[in-house]
Amino acid sequence: MPDLTLTGLRVLREVAARGSFTAAAVALDYTQSAVSRQIGALEVAAGSPLFERGARGVQLTDAGRLLLAHANDVLDRMDAARRELRGLRSLATGRLRVGAFPTALAALLPRAVAAFGARHAGIDVSLREGTTPAQLRRLAARTAELAVVGTLPGQPLEDAHLAQEALLDDPLLLAVGRGHRLAGRRSVDLDDLARERWIAGSADARDTFLDVWAPADWQPQVEFVAREWTAKLGLAAAGLGVTIVPGLAATSVRDDVALLRVRSDPPPVRHVVLATRADGEPSARARAFADVLHEVAADLAADLQRRLGA
């Protein structure tokens, strides 16, 4: 006695969808007689007619409807299995291009690449450092599959071409020299900083992390402009001013600098976001790396909370 086959079930689904043996044959690139043979074998295996033949085509019988419901489940599962198997093959070898803003590249990405490499040693991960705008341009040009970018509260990435996943909220911390009057504290009110001299990446505070003062009714006095973190922290360590440091950089801050939380409403944070193109399904490599990024980001966030005593 013939048995149910995947080919027969696919033919059943196509005939049911199109209402015609002829149309199903065209869609499947079969001959009409091959379609008829497949349906005939299914009917023998089912012990019942599956279609009622008429002048205007065919319609499912009760047995046909029952078998079609199961066929859909089986075929969907088989299609999913094929996709997952292709994904496993694509995770064996290949190259993945990832971009990140500098602090994320220093703190988040090294752990993620190491963890990913331990699971998928055959995949070469290529990293590119750059600002958030530069990373978004790489996504648009398809020179990166994934980009870790940063946004400030009230300044989301409004781009319909991007898919976005939150990774963590990175607190913006106040860095002061060990001899500073605030160095012994764990946190400070925003208004206590009104008379401080600031070290920033730009003379225009709006272009820097000094957006932490946005809720205040005062503006910071930028005393020194320095682009690099090493220069900012050196100036702060010498007692020449205070600066803002992202929490992700906390582990690399020098010993002669103290870090404090800034108390304000809302709290000063930078949102760390994973961005991909929205016009297509990410590769299995990209999805697997994204999963690792989420794991590492959660660990980093917990480490930072412990380090800051919060």
Q: Domain residues for 72?
A: 6-89
Examine the domain organization and report whether 71 and 123 are in the same domain. Answer: no
In a domain, 156, yes or no: yes
Cα distance between residue 270 and residue 169, in whole Å: 6
76 and 191 share one domain: no
**Could you tell me if 39 and 177 lie in one domain?**
no
Is residue 134 located within the same domain as residue 114?
A: yes
Q: Do 134 and 222 sit in the same domain of this protein? A: no
Query: 74-83, 99-108, 201-210 — which is least confidently predicted?
Result: 201-210
Band the pLDDT of 169: cuts 50, 70, 90: very high
Are 43 and 189 contained in the same domain?
no
> What is the pTM assigned to this prediction?
0.68
199 domain residue, yes or no? yes
Here the CATH number for the domain that contains residue 293 is 3.40.190.10
The pLDDT tens digits for 188-234 are 999 999 999 999 988 876 667 767 877 788 888 899 999 888 899 99
Among 137-141, 288-292, 304-308, the least confident range: 304-308
Task: State pLDDT tens for residues 38-74.
Answer: 999 999 999 999 999 888 889 999 999 999 999 999 9
The CA distance from 11 to 42, in Å, is: 10
Same-domain status, 30 and 159? no
Q: What is the CATH number of the domain that holds 13?
A: 1.10.10.10
